[in-house]
Amino acid sequence: MPAEKDEAKEPRARPRLIIFMASFLVSHSTLFSVVCCIAGLIALLLLPILAKSTYISENALMPGSANPVFSGQDVSEASRLVKDITETQKMGKTTGIEIQRLIIQRMADVGAEVYYHKFQSQSNQFHPFRFFSCDSNSAVTESNSNTSNGLNTVGIIRAPRGDGKEAIVLVTPYNSEYVKLNDALSLGLGFSIFSHLSRVSWLAKDILWLAADSRYGEYSSVSAWLKDYHNPVFFSSENVDANVTHDKDFLNMENKNMLNGRNVDVFKRAGTMAAAMVFKVGEAMERDPRDILTIYAEASNGQMPNLDLINVVHYLAVHRQGFRVNIGKLASLVNSAWLNLVGQILEWLGNLAKNLNPKWNFGISSADYAEGAATVASSMYHQALGVPTGSHGAFRDYQVDAITFSFSSRFYLNNENMQSSFILRGG
Amino acid sequence: MAPTRARATIHTSFLLLLLVIFLSCDLLDRIIASSGEASEEEFTEELLLKPLPDKKILAHFHFQSTVPPSDSIGHHHHLFPKAIAQLVKKFHIRELELSFTQGRWNYESWGGSDPMSNINAKPPGVEMWAVFDLPVNDINESWKGLTHALSGIFCSSVNFLESSTAYSAPHWGLRTNSSSMRYGALPREAVCTENLTPWLKLLPCRDKAGLASLLDRPSIYKSYYHSQRLQLFSSDASGIILDQTLTVVLQPNVQRNGMPNSYDRFLQPNWSIMSMFKKKVTGQCALAKASSIFIELEDGLATELEKLGAGESWNNLAFDLSVAPDRVIKEHNSMEGKSSSILYEFKVVKYSKYEPLDVGIKWKLPLVWSCPEAPFHARRFLMGSGNERGSIAFSLQPTQSRDQFLSDSHKCTVRAVIFQVVPWYVKVYYHTLQIFIDGRSVPVVDVVEKISVSPSEDKVSPGSLQMMLRFPCDMNSTALAMDFDKGFLHIDEYPPDANQGFDIPSAVVSFPDFYSSRSYLEGNCLKHPPLLLKLQKRTVLQSYTEVLLVPLTTPDFSMPYNVITFTCTVLALYFGSLLNALRRRIGEEERLLKSKDSKQVGLIPRLLSKLKGRTLESHQSSSGSTASSKPGAKWLFKVIFVAIFAVLWHYYSNID
């Protein structure tokens, strides 16, 4: 508007104005940068208010029409496995692979193709730039240098009428050396989902269940498996020797690696991975009256999966199962006085605005604000840090959308199981 | 002609005997074919049922129509479908095979080396090949016509095989070797009743009578594997033979009474035709020459039965057949120490609407057996990640049945032929072929006996690879890997749902050293029904690998619209400024401005002053030459004042 006015008034001033403004900006650069910086910070603080709630297009995915199909039978199966695992644990360690053997037996019983995946734990270092270098030779040298072994258990359900081009991966990490109750529960949960899916006939994609041996960290076991899935090393001459010499623990298993007449050491595949979900049952939290489902999504270098995946899970968890959904947040921030103060100011401002015009509805309560700010902060922190927040990070390196859910409840409830079954259907 | 080159335990006398039998059967076949004994059209229908080790049932429908050479019968047909006869005549087809398949054949638990699975296992989607009786130059034209005709007949999108990017011309990679052959596959084609109905229309009785009436749609589409095929053989001597087969793998409903215990868990489910197809057989198709149902018990199961001392009777310790079979046919097995499969035959002609046939098996003892697997199991998978490049890998692994096939597995070598068609947007670098045997890299020349590669040409032809490998029998794993680059497609070449990925059709892996065949000595080989003749035919072992899904880079499909909008905006801006530059005369305007400067009042102040007519007079008097600076500030204040007033007024009115 002013420019127009100027133009009408004195047409010659127009080029001069631009130069004038530019020189003005340059001469007051410090002031302007401070102003911009403050504006940015204010915008950041306002983010939780301005955030719109996400939604999923019902036309495309129809999560609303998903039905719970989990039955009491599945739950009893899960609890049976949990009981077995805890009993094995009590009996004392014999070979270190009792649990793996138990799981694989159960998987074979429901009619899945099973195999063990032996891996050598890599150094826990995180390489942010490994994503860019497609050097498969480095993997060989790396695994030679390290001697600790882990054993993943993998089961595959072939979709009865599918063509086997795609697969969905379920992962349940557990510590095989010392299985705590929540690890056992997550295994039970994983198994009951798996056995349920093995009985249904509507599957279009194959289902892979990876019971990841996370005694050397959740990330390394999953990434080792993924590496073997995507970039297998065929020249194994040196590695085999290395394996045999270091394999004191596994000698026992070598003899018994035939199950129901099938070789369980052969690596099997099931097509291109479409999505992956990591299930965990977290520590019990007494604080909240409702069961909590926490979603972790950040992968290495701040990559995020398709938002639909998060939204579908969120939708089903909140609207169908009455879960309380957290998307990873910095707990310390929630209670910080300073944030609450900002929240209160904003709340007051919001109320004022609401009074001025009822349509200006941007006020939120200070507690909500603090929570939102904590979520934003944690998301920013994890994305900036570039370190994956869970084993789903390994999938993102291979361009597979993956998230981790961590359930935590006061009691072990049935609807937890139902919940996960939903998520599968929706996805 | 030696039936089993690699098998060693054959006694020479047996071999000679077999040779004689095979030759005599073949000879007689030929005599029949040429003498024109079958001077009229014939139709036969058969159904073979077979329990599988994983508690499923294989049902294989086989309908055969034959027509003698056309010159003897003219243009009119009584039984043979006219559409097919015309097709053969018009496109000069020698052989044709078209299969519509849903689901995967499970080579590990449903078998891979017996004739049933070897012939009938097909890759998912549509697979089609044809051999033409034409000069080389006319074949492509004929293939295009044929695909269109077939897509019309079968209500399918077989016509997508028309484009030269979709089919290839293998010379020796497949079972049938011919230079006038074309091969194409559409892995994504969905199969449903709309394909079955036209297929049934080719039968003389459709699905109104005979065995085809068993084809209850919900039951057969609930199956784990469903393959509907059409096979044509035509020659001047024997006329046209049309084989229509439908292979389904069904899971019979298990009615468990009480708790499932370990005993029940291994017990095979009881089934009958009624329980599987919701119908009973009410007599044969009146036009059929023969109509029979077979129940086959394969080698492994027969061995188990023999151990129990059950023999080949139809109600024994292990199971009961609900109906007494008309004939028991035992396979004549060449190998010693190995039991042979048993066939129970039921003639449908004896049954009618009032006395329907409902064959079934009731198991009494739990039996566990394994299916006859192929000596090597071929798998194929993708390696690498990202949108730029990747590699295709094949792996061949010996199965447990290898030792049955190989005599001394230490010195011999085995041949395997791999035939693979790759669409052009997956640009395979064939020179990057690497072969690893037992984890050791092996020079390509040591293993590859014969190779022919036709590289892909962008948007013109797919790449195809035919490769014959020879590797030692006692290897534990063989792996082949080839690198490829992922290509870019034009925006309108993307199929719907391109984000899912692109399919690479199944590769065909065949083992020319191994054959599958059954030999039945019972009775006269002439009288064997067509299905048994099929099973007796010696065919090279062949298996299909998985279909692969390659994720390619896909554009954001809203991009074209963004581009259009953006371009339009830029064009409009450009047009406006160009018009401005052409039309506007700056010198003139300046002169005008100077002359009117004294009276000129800015547009906005004038508008504002009009709105506030009250201050018009004072404003005009006060403005004058300094209209640009002072009134601006004044007006700004006024506007802010009014705004504050409005907000306050709104606030208080709300409170009231």
What is the pLDDT, as a whole number, of residue A317?
A: 73
User: Around Cβ B443, how many Cβ atoms within 10 Å?
Assistant: 9
* pLDDT tens-digit series, residues B264-319: 667 788 888 988 998 888 888 888 988 999 998 888 888 888 888 766 677 777 88
Any idea which of A319-323, B1-5, B449-453 has the lowest mean pLDDT? Answer: B1-5
Cβ contact (<8 Å) for A164 and B104?
yes
What is the pLDDT, as a whole number, of residue A140?
A: 38
**Whether pLDDT at B12 is above 70:** no
Average pLDDT estimate for B554-581: 88
Residues in A closer than 8 angstroms to B590, CB to CB, are: 11
> Which chain A residue has its CA at the smallest distance from B505's CA?
A165
**Residues B255, B326 within the same domain:** yes
**Residues B499, B438 within the same domain:** yes
Quote the number of domains for chain B.
Answer: 2
DSSP B461: B
CB nearest B439 (choices: A161, A162, A235): A235
Amino acid at B198: P
- Final residue before a domain boundary, out of B525, B550, B575: B550
CB nearest A355 (choices: B434, B501, B651): B651
**Residues B51, B161 within the same domain:** yes
Helix axes A414-426, A307-315, angle to 10 degrees: 140
Cβ contact (<8 Å) for A356 and B651?
yes
The answer to whether B219 faces chain A, any CB pair under 8 Å, is no
**Residues B246, B311 within the same domain:** yes
CB nearest A5 (choices: B102, B550, B604): B604
The answer to whether B119 faces chain A, any CB pair under 8 Å, is no
Cβ contact (<8 Å) for A163 and B441?
no
The answer to whether B653 faces chain A, any CB pair under 8 Å, is no
Cβ contact (<8 Å) for A399 and B386?
yes
Q: What percent of chain B has pLDDT over 70?
A: 82
Any idea which of A136-145, A175-184, B526-535, B640-649 has the lowest mean pLDDT? Answer: A136-145
The answer to whether B256 faces chain A, any CB pair under 8 Å, is no
User: How high is the mean pLDDT of chain A?
Assistant: 70
Buried b / exposed e over A240-268, threshold 16 CB at 10 Å, is eebbeeeeeebeebeeeeebeebebeebb
**Residues B348, B408 within the same domain:** no
Q: How far is CA B320 from CA B249, B312, B323, B326, B370, in A?
A: 22, 11, 9, 15, 21
The answer to whether B439 faces chain A, any CB pair under 8 Å, is yes
**Whether pLDDT at B28 is above 70:** no
**Residues B275, B343 within the same domain:** yes
* Rounded Cα–Cα distance for residues A112 and B522 (Å): 41
* Rounded Cα–Cα distance for residues B109 and A158 (Å): 13
Residues in A closer than 8 angstroms to B481, CB to CB, are: 234
Q: Is the dihedral of CA B605, B607, B612, B614 positive or negative?
A: positive
Average pLDDT estimate for B85-92: 90
Q: Do the beta carbons of residue A136 and residue A85 sit within 8 Å?
A: no
User: C-alpha angle with apex B405: B399 to B408, nearest 5 degrees?
Assistant: 105
**Whether pLDDT at B76 is above 90:** no
* Rounded Cα–Cα distance for residues A134 and A166 (Å): 23
Q: Which two tokens stand for residue A258?
A: 């035939």
Look at residue B634 and tell me if it is in a domain.
no
Q: Do the beta carbons of residue A123 and residue A142 sit within 8 Å?
A: yes
Q: Which residue has the higher pLDDT, A332 or B81?
A: B81
Residues in B closer than 8 angstroms to A269, CB to CB, are: 379, 381
**Whether pLDDT at A359 is above 60:** yes
Look at residue B446 and tell me if it is in a domain.
yes
The answer to whether B100 faces chain A, any CB pair under 8 Å, is no
The answer to whether B528 faces chain A, any CB pair under 8 Å, is no
Average pLDDT estimate for B232-255: 87
Q: Which residue has the higher pLDDT, B400 or B88?
A: B88
Any idea which of B175-179, B420-424, B570-574, B599-603 has the lowest mean pLDDT? Answer: B599-603
Amino acid at A278: V
* Rounded Cα–Cα distance for residues B57 and B110 (Å): 10
Look at residue B518 and tell me if it is in a domain.
no
* Rounded Cα–Cα distance for residues B270 and B254 (Å): 7
Residues 6+ apart with CB under 8 A from A130: A397
CB nearest A234 (choices: B481, B548, B650): B481
* pLDDT tens-digit series, residues B531-560: 888 888 888 888 999 899 998 888 888 888
Report residue B572's pLDDT band, with 50, 70 and 90 as the boundaries: very high
**Residues B311, B176 within the same domain:** yes
DSSP B238: T
Size of interface A-B (CB pairs under 8 A): 102
CB nearest B104 (choices: A163, A269, A399): A163
CB nearest A399 (choices: B385, B481, B654): B385
Cβ contact (<8 Å) for B439 and A165?
no
**Residues B104, B247 within the same domain:** yes
Cβ contact (<8 Å) for A399 and B602?
no
Distance from CA of B651 to the nearest CA of A (A): 5
The answer to whether B191 faces chain A, any CB pair under 8 Å, is no
Give the end-to-end CA distance of chain B in Å, rounded to a whole number: 107
Report residue B620's pLDDT band, with 50, 70 and 90 as the boundaries: very low
Helices and strands (DSSP H and E) totals, chain A: 16, 10
**Residues B401, B322 within the same domain:** no
- Final residue before a domain boundary, out of B492, B521, B550: B550
**Residues B307, B411 within the same domain:** no
**Whether pLDDT at B257 is above 60:** no
**Residues B315, B381 within the same domain:** no
**Whether pLDDT at B520 is above 70:** yes
Interface of A with B (CB under 8 A): 1, 5, 8-11, 111, 134, 158, 160-166, 201, 230-232, 234-237, 240, 261-262, 266, 269, 271-272, 355-357, 397-399
Distance from CA of B188 to the nearest CA of A (A): 9
* Rounded Cα–Cα distance for residues B328 and B341 (Å): 11
Look at residue B233 and tell me if it is in a domain.
yes
Residues in B closer than 8 angstroms to A158, CB to CB, are: 104, 106
Cβ contact (<8 Å) for A134 and B386?
yes
Any idea which of A112-121, A175-184, A205-214, A284-293 has the lowest mean pLDDT? Answer: A284-293
> E strand or H helix at B119, and its extent?
helix B115-120
Look at residue B643 and tell me if it is in a domain.
no
Buried b / exposed e over B347-356, threshold 16 CB at 10 Å, is ebeebeeeee
Helices assigned H by DSSP within A137-250 = 137-145, 181-199, 218-230, 237-246
Report residue B245's pLDDT band, with 50, 70 and 90 as the boundaries: very high
Q: Do the beta carbons of residue A418 and residue A68 sit within 8 Å?
A: yes
Average pLDDT estimate for B129-134: 92
Which of 600-619 (B) contact A at CB < 8 A?
Answer: 602-604
Residues in A closer than 8 angstroms to B651, CB to CB, are: 355-356
**Whether pLDDT at B39 is above 90:** no
Q: Is the dihedral of CA B184, B189, B192, B198 positive or negative?
A: negative
**Residues B120, B68 within the same domain:** yes
What is the pLDDT, as a whole number, of residue B599?
A: 59
DSSP B582: H
Cβ contact (<8 Å) for B379 and A236?
no
- Final residue before a domain boundary, out of B306, B332, B363: B363
Look at residue B70 and tell me if it is in a domain.
yes
Read off the CATH number of the domain in which B426 is found: 2.60.40
Q: How far is CA B227 from CA B192, B252, B397, in A?
A: 11, 18, 26
Q: Do the beta carbons of residue A397 and residue A223 sit within 8 Å?
A: yes
Residues in B closer than 8 angstroms to A11, CB to CB, are: 586, 589-590, 593
Average pLDDT estimate for B215-220: 90
Cβ contact (<8 Å) for B593 and A166?
no
The answer to whether B481 faces chain A, any CB pair under 8 Å, is yes
Look at residue B208 and tell me if it is in a domain.
yes
Domain that holds residue B184: 40-363
* Rounded Cα–Cα distance for residues A408 and A281 (Å): 6
**Whether pLDDT at A132 is above 60:** no
Q: Which two tokens stand for residue B572?
A: 């409009």
Q: Which residue has the higher pLDDT, A426 or B468?
A: B468
Distance from CA of A6 to the nearest CA of B (A): 8
> Which chain A residue has its CA at the smallest distance from B108's CA?
A262
Average pLDDT estimate for B111-136: 89
ipTM higher than the 0.90 cut: no
What is the pLDDT, as a whole number, of residue A296?
A: 82
Q: How far is CA B295 from CA A252, B107, B213, B478, B530, in A?
A: 44, 21, 18, 38, 15
Q: Output the DSSP codes for B171-185.
A: SSSSSS--TTEEEEE
Report residue B59's pLDDT band, with 50, 70 and 90 as the boundaries: very high
Cβ contact (<8 Å) for B103 and A160?
yes
Give the end-to-end CA distance of chain A in Å, rounded to a whole number: 51
Look at residue B171 and tell me if it is in a domain.
yes
* Rounded Cα–Cα distance for residues B237 and B547 (Å): 39
The answer to whether B454 faces chain A, any CB pair under 8 Å, is no
What is the pLDDT, as a whole number, of residue B9?
A: 42
